[in-house]
């Protein structure tokens, strides 16, 4: 399954860290690309590109000034739109349908998400109906969709790799 991410409403400086974490979680858990909207942030792009250069993988980051354009392009290319929101249907209730999709665009917000995102999405999905974080919502959704396969270790082919150890830090 191909999974891309749309991060809405990036705000500088407020979202610098959290958008970086959204992108890092997306990459580490097997998504292929993140598009972010809101304010353009070359620092965000540079830090994700540096991680990819060092730790490997084909992950891409792109900016778009229009989430509406991103959504319509992804729809045109046959992606199913899955918007993560505390108001949506519990992930466990829609998971069997999500697993059947071949291409998914996972959408996460920052501040209040415009109503048309709820309307255009094929699924509005919640990870509990409590307010928390886009990073947690994304991580749990990717883990559920991939049934934990990402924990078995995706081969990123990076310049550095960690050798898991009970104590200390080991690199290969």
Q: Which residues bind ligand SAM (CB under 6 A)?
A: 84-86, 108-113, 126-128, 130-134, 137
Output the smallest distance, CB 125 to ligand SAM, in A: 7
Output the smallest distance, CB 18 to ligand SAM, in A: 8
Output the smallest distance, CB 63 to ligand SAM, in A: 19
Residue 35 or 110 having the CB closest to ligand SAM? 110
Name the closest residue to ligand SAM (Cβ).
109
Q: Are 50 and 23 in contact (CB under 8 A)?
A: no
Residue 86 or 154 having the CB closest to ligand SAM? 86
Pairing type for strands 60-63 and 2-10 reads unpaired
Residue 80 or 85 having the CB closest to ligand SAM? 85
Which residues are CB-neighbours of 8 under 8 A, at least 6 positions away? 36, 37, 38, 67, 107, 108, 109, 110, 113, 117
Radius of gyration of the chain (CA): 16
Give which of 163, 168, 165 is closest to 153, Cα–Cα.
163
Residue 15 or 41 having the CB closest to ligand SAM? 15
Residue 57 or 109 having the CB closest to ligand SAM? 109
CA 57 to chain centroid, in Å, comes to: 15
Q: What single string gives the DSSP state of each residue in 81-121? A: EEEEEEEEEEHHHHHHHHHH-SEEEEEE-SSPPPHHHHHH-
Output the smallest distance, CB 129 to ligand SAM, in A: 6
Output the smallest distance, CB 141 to ligand SAM, in A: 8
């Amino acid at each position: 399954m191909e999974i891309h991410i749309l991060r809405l409403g990036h705000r500088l400086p407020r979202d610098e860290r959290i958008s970086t974490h959204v992108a890092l979680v997306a990459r580490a858990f097997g998504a292929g690309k993140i598009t972010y909207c809101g304010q353009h942030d070359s620092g965000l792009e540079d830090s994700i590109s540096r991680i990819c250069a060092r730790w490997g993988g084909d992950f891409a980051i792109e900016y778009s000034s229009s989430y509406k354009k991103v959504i319509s392009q992804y729809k045109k290319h046959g992606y199913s739109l899955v918007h993560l929101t505390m108001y949506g249907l519990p992930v466990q209730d829609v998971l069997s349908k999500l697993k059947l999709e071949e291409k998914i665009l996972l959408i996460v917000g920052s501040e209040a998400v415009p109503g048309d995102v709820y309307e255009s999405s094929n699924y509005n999905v919640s990870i509990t109906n409590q307010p928390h974080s886009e990073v947690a919502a994304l991580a749990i959704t990717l883990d559920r969709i991939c049934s934990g396969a990402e924990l078995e270790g995706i081969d990123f082919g990076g310049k550095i790799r960690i050798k898991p150890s009970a104590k200390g830090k080991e690199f290969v």
